């Protein structure tokens, strides 16, 4: 004889061998593509953008959400030869908005850029020195 017991948030169901021998009477329900709780990808079955997709990282709901949606929609629906080339204004508006919120939308730090460019210059200098030495020794 099967029985069920509740332990905190969990429900534990004990089934007997006889329970498994009888065919199930459960009816499967077809997936509803419009179910907002159903896991969907970035693009919904009807072709619309799923703004709730975790893959967008919450960009659609932040302070620049409307600008993001505008730019992303423009790119997604773009039919230009170079996809998105007609969306420059929307992406510019999104970038300007993001620059107003540097804590939420961090950009590459200027000091990191300076360090990177000085390391690149140093590496190029070392390569040039090594090349001169090699040329001088031949």
Q: From the first residue on, what is the mean pLDDT of each consecutive set of 10 residues in the chain (138 residues)?
A: 83 85 77 64 87 88 93 93 94 94 79 55 58 53
**What is the reported pLDDT for 106?**
85
For residue 63, what are the domain limits?
3-128
Name the one residue in this structure whose structure tokens are 């230009």: 80
Let me know if residue 83 belongs to a domain. yes
Please state the φ and ψ torsions of residue 109, each to the nearest 5 degrees: -65, 140
Structure tokens at 8: 């905190």
**CA-to-CA distance for 45 and 48, rounded, in angstroms?**
7
Angle made by CA atoms 50, 53, 58, in degrees to the nearest 5: 115
Gyration radius of the chain's alpha carbons? 29
Let me know if residue 135 belongs to a domain. no
**CA-to-CA distance for 32 and 38, rounded, in angstroms?**
8
How many domains is the chain built from? 1
Let me know if residue 138 belongs to a domain. no
**What is the reported pLDDT for 111?**
46
**What is the reported pLDDT for 78?**
93
Let me know if residue 134 belongs to a domain. no
């Amino acid at each position: 004889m099967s029985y069920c017991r509740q332990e905190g948030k969990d429900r534990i169901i004990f089934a007997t061998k006889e329970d498994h021998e009888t065919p199930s009477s459960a009816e499967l329900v077809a997936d509803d593509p419009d179910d907002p709780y159903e896991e969907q990808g970035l693009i919904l079955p009807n072709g619309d953008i799923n703004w709730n997709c975790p893959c967008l990282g919450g960009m659609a709901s932040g302070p620049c959400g409307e600008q993001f949606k505008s730019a992303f929609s423009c790119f997604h629906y773009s039919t230009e030869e170079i996809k998105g080339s007609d969306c420059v204004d929307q992406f510019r508006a999104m970038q300007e908005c993001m620059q107003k919120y540097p804590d939420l939308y961090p950009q590459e730090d200027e000091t990191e850029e300076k360090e990177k460019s000085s390391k690149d210059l140093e590496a190029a200098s070392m390569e040039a020195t090594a090349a001169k030495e090699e040329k001088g020794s031949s």
